[in-house]
């Protein structure tokens, strides 16, 4: 079975790594040929064949089920049933729904209703006016491929509810499971009013994580303990173990010993299934239920089964039932974690005179081994790794396993009996204690994988034979190749145009300094492009502070991430075209200039500090390597362009197209004077303003510029050198191109 599972994994992941998919017949022929060639490894070859065919057919079916581009952006009157518990914030409600409309619609549809006219509950049947678009996401280094994430999540269309008098509630038909989850959620809220820990307890009891604040998520991520608030195999296994432990003495009173044991194990399986369904039936919960099922069947059959065989059975069943789950980060990390734990918990030779406390003493080593063993998977998924994770998990895992989760589950089971629900309070106290400990621990340095990747190899040399994690440390060596960091040649600088939707964020790197031009937009959810895209990119580049921050002007699509950037990257200098609330800045004006490693920086506009307001207050920055220049223009419009031309504007090799390609900018005299080789615009794909305007695109192209839309191409990296000029290093969507993705068209 293990060989079959290995082949299945290889077969499932192989199509994910290619940009052009071979025809079906050729794929089948090549795989069948492998079966014939490897006659002695037919299980592996059979798994490979099945994996390739499952991945290709599942992906094609999912892509074909997406919203048709012909109806994208149209206002549609639809009737929808809300299928998930809504995530409600002060500004919006977000949820999945199954919709019927005047045209065939995919299912499910992920909708947002900004400032909803009424509360939305799972099971509600509504008539809405909606606007939909095909699902997608922002494409930047340091984050998971957005198209893969969308396929794994099962979302086939995104959209929002349009404010209209035709919006009305038709009926309420919530399922019993949904009603049960909502009742548990509300009970915990009632027992723990005004307690931030209530959101974590709700997440552990029902899998509903919408109530958790950004600060709480940041705490769990920074300490490497996000797995504790996902309904994982640990939680499902605890439920099964608790039910077995509690039911066996009761059943022993009425059944024979062997029958009581089998009956209690079966009850544990039922409890695990019920809890997994209650929690939303995620991939980790599925894996845990399948492993519990395998253990139960092996026990009933009185067959000795190894942990690797159980993992192989569970993994094979998950992949066959939901092949696209393999595209998710959670699938890789959860299965990798179990595999590493199975290796670390392998039987060790008995030591003369060893006591049970020696086994307890293995826990720190197990945490270290798990940390190092998961590093390759963490690096492959683009996640940051925290040095404090082993320390925090050493405290958090026993705390959650022995106190928080059992207390939460007992509170759920005893809800009908205990009006006071003290178990929920115990769970909340343990969460508060963890939060205080994690806050102190997160003050320790958190570094990117490649900085200390040599550490596990050194530990491997000095650790004693049999120490958990000794061999797993070697697995971290490939991570050295997965995080390049800064590598700018002498006499050159790199310009990184980040994909932040309808906003701007450009990072300029020299050999020794980092400059950030604009901080991207803020979102109605309370997050910002800085938290979701810019900061992960900086961590991937191993940048923990920046030298200069320039906020072109105060509009939210340029200054929306200011607070997050200042808090984490602590810029030495901050320039802005307009006053920014809560931040002391120097106002940019023409003539300000500095040099770093031979790279020149010079403000060209505005001519006097605070001489303009709004878009025309934007700081215009010129960065030069010899005679080759980068021009960053913010949101300047016609008047500002005319003033720049009056001062003798020089040609630029690369220009950020003003105002996202709006018709109020990029006048013909300005375009001709700049005469850029590359014109790069930052505009969200399929934005409602239709930016960049086709006339503007044609104007830049007619001037000889290669026009690049970051919203379509994804993150784009340019390099300008004194001796070789400007050239495009790559764009993220080209670099991550997969066979199921459409080719972007400007």
Q: Tell whether the model's pLDDT for residue 585 goes beyond 90.
A: yes
- Examine the pLDDT at 56 and tell me if it is beyond 80: yes
Percent of the chain surpassing pLDDT 70: 80
Q: What is the mean pLDDT of residues 381-385?
A: 59
Span 523-527, average pLDDT? 78
Q: Tell whether omega for the bond before 606 is within 30 degrees of 0, i.e. cis.
A: yes
Quote the pLDDT of residue 452: 45
Q: 84-131: per-residue pLDDT in tens?
A: 888 887 778 889 999 998 888 888 899 999 888 888 888 899 999 999
How many residues in the chain?
746
What's the pLDDT score for residue 453? 45
How far apart, in whole angstroms, are the C-alpha atoms of residue 313 and residue 329?
20
Residue 42 has pLDDT above 80, yes or no: no
pLDDT value at residue 474: 55
> 552 CB contacts (<8 Å, ≥6 apart)?
504, 517, 518, 558, 576, 577, 618, 619, 632, 634, 635
Residues with Cβ within 8 Å of 230's Cβ and at least 6 positions away in sequence, in order, are 203, 207, 209, 282, 284, 330
Each residue's pLDDT tens digit, 334-382? 777 777 766 666 655 545 554 544 444 555 556 566 666 666 666 566 5
616-626 b/e (C-beta count within 10 Å ≥ 16 → b): bbbbbbbbbbb
For residue 22, the 8-state DSSP code is P
- pLDDT tier, 520 (very low <50, low <70, confident <90, very high otherwise): very high
Q: What is the DSSP string of 375-436?
A: HHHHHHTT----TTHHHHHHHHHHHIIIIIHHHHHHHHHTTTT-SS-HHHHHHHHHHHHHHH
| Cα three-residue angle 213-384-12, rounded to 5 degrees | 105
Q: Is 73 left (phi over 0), alpha (psi -120 to 50) or beta?
A: left
pLDDT band at 503 (very low <50, low <70, confident <90, very high): very high
State how far the alpha carbon of 662 is from the alpha carbons of 498, 659, 666, 676, in Å. Answer: 19, 6, 8, 18
Residue with the bigger pLDDT between 711 and 464: it is: 711
Q: Please indicate whether residue 48 or residue 113 has the higher confidence score (pLDDT).
A: 113
509 secondary structure, DSSP code: E
pLDDT band at 77 (very low <50, low <70, confident <90, very high): very high
| Higher-confidence position of 410 and 282 | 410
What average pLDDT does the segment 275-282 reach? 78
Average pLDDT, the chain: 82
Tell which wins on pLDDT, 321 or 518.
Answer: 518
Q: What is the mean pLDDT of residues 383-387?
A: 60
Q: Which of 74, 150, 138 is nearest to 110 (CA)?
A: 150
- What is the Cβ-side half-sphere exposure of residue 653, based on CA atoms within 13 angstroms? 21
Closest CA to 625 of 497, 529, 490: 490
pLDDT per residue as tens digits for the range 604-653: 999 999 988 999 999 999 999 999 999 999 999 999 999 999 988 999 99
Q: How far apart are CA 125 and CA 84, in angstroms?
A: 12
What pLDDT score does 426 carry? 93
What pLDDT is attached to residue 373?
61
Pairing of strands 492-497, 157-161: unpaired
Q: Between these two residues, 84 and 433, which has the higher pLDDT value?
A: 433
List the structure tokens of 237: 């296994």
Across the beta sheet with 678-681, what order do the strands follow?
Answer: 593-596, 599-605, 620-625, 628-632, 654-656, 678-681, 706-709
Integer Cα distance of 576 and 735 in angstroms: 34
> How many alpha carbons lie under 13 Å from residue 180 in its C-beta half-sphere?
16
pLDDT computed for residue 451 by the predictor: 42
DSSP-derived 3-state class of residue 113: strand
Give the residue-averaged pLDDT of 530-546: 89
């Amino acid at each position: 079975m293990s060989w079959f599972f290995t082949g299945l994994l290889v077969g499932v992941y192989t199509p994910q790594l290619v940009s052009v998919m071979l025809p079906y017949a050729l794929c089948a022929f090549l795989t069948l040929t492998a079966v014939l060639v490897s006659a002695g490894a037919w299980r592996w070859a059979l798994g490979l064949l099945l994996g390739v065919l499952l991945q290709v057919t599942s992906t094609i079916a999912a892509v074909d089920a997406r919203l048709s581009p012909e109806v994208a952006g149209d206002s549609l009157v639809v009737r929808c049933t809300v299928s998930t518990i809504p995530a409600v914030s002060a500004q919006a409600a977000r949820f999945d729904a199954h919709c019927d409309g005047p045209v065939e619609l995919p299912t499910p549809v992920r909708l947002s209703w900004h400032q909803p006219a009424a509360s939305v509950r799972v099971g509600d049947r509504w008539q809405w006016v909606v606007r939909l678009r095909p699902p997608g996401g922002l494409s930047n280094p340091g984050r998971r491929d957005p198209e893969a994430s969308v396929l794994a999540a099962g979302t086939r269309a995104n959209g929002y509810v349009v404010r209209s008098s035709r919006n009305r509630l038709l009926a309420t038909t919530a399922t019993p499971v949904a009603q049960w989850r909502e009742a548990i959620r509300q009970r915990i809220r009632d027992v723990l009013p005004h307690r931030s820990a209530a959101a974590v307890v709700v997440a552990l009891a029902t899998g509903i994580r919408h109530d958790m604040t950004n600060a709480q998520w940041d705490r769990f991520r920074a300490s490497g303990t996000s797995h504790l608030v996902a309904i994982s195999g640990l939680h499902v296994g605890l439920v099964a173990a608790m039910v077995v432990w509690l039911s066996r003495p009761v059943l022993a009173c009425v059944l024979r010993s062997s029958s009581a044991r089998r009956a209690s194990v079966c009850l544990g399986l039922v409890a695990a299934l019920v809890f997994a369904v209650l929690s939303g039936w995620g991939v980790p919960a599925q894996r845990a239920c399948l492993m519990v099922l395998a253990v139960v069947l092996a026990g009933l059959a009185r067959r000795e089964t190894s942990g690797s065989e159980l993992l192989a059975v569970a993994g094979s069943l998950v992949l066959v039932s939901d092949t696209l789950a393999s595209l998710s980060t959670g699938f890789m990390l959860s299965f990798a974690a179990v595999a590493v734990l199975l290796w670390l918990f392998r039987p060790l030779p008995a030591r003369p005179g060893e006591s049970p406390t020696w086994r307890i003493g293995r826990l720190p080593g197990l945490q270290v081994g798990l940390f190092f063993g998961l590093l390759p998977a963490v690096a492959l998924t683009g996640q940051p790794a925290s040095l404090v994770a082993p320390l925090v998990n050493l405290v958090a895992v026993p705390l959650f396993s022995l106190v928080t989760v059992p207390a939460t589950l007992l509170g759920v089971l005893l809800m009908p009996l205990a009006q006071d629900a003290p178990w929920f309070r115990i769970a909340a106290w343990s969460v508060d204690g963890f939060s205080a400990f994690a806050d102190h621990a997160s003050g320790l340095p958190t570094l990117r994988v490649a900085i200390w990747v040599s550490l596990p190899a050194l530990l491997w040399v000095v650790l004693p034979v049999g120490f958990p994690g000794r061999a797993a440390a070697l697995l971290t060596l490939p991570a050295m190749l997965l995080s390049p960091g800064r590598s700018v040649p002498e006499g050159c600088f790199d310009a990184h145009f980040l994909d932040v939707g309808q906003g701007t964020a450009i990072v300029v790197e020299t050999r020794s300094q980092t400059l950030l031009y604009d901080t991207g937009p803020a979102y109605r959810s309370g997050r910002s492009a800085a938290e979701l895209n810019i900061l992960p990119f900086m961590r991937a580049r191993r940048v923990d502070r920046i030298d200069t921050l320039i906020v072109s002007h105060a509009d939210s699509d340029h200054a929306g991430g200011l607070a997050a950037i200042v808090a984490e990257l602590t810029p030495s200098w901050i320039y802005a075209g307009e006053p920014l609330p809560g931040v002391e800045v120097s106002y940019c004006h023409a003539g300000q200039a500095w040099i770093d490693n031979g790279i020149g920086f010079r403000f060209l506009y505005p001519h006097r500090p605070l001489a303009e307001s709004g878009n025309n207050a934007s700081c215009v920055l010129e960065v030069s390597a010899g005679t080759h220049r980068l021009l960053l223009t913010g949101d300047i419009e016609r008047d500002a362009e005319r003033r720049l031309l009056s001062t003798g504007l020089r040609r630029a090799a690369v220009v950020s197209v003003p105002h996202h390609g709006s018709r109020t900018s990029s006048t013909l005299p300005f375009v001709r004077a700049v005469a850029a080789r590359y014109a790069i615009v930052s505009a969200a794909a399929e934005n409602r303003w239709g930016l960049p305007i086709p006339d503007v695109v044609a104007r830049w192209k007619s001037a000889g510029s290669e026009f690049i839309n970051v919203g379509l191409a994804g993150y784009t990296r340019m390099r300008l050198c004194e001796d070789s000029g400007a050239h495009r290093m790559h764009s993220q969507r080209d670099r991550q191109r997969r066979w199921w993705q459409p080719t972007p068209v400007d």
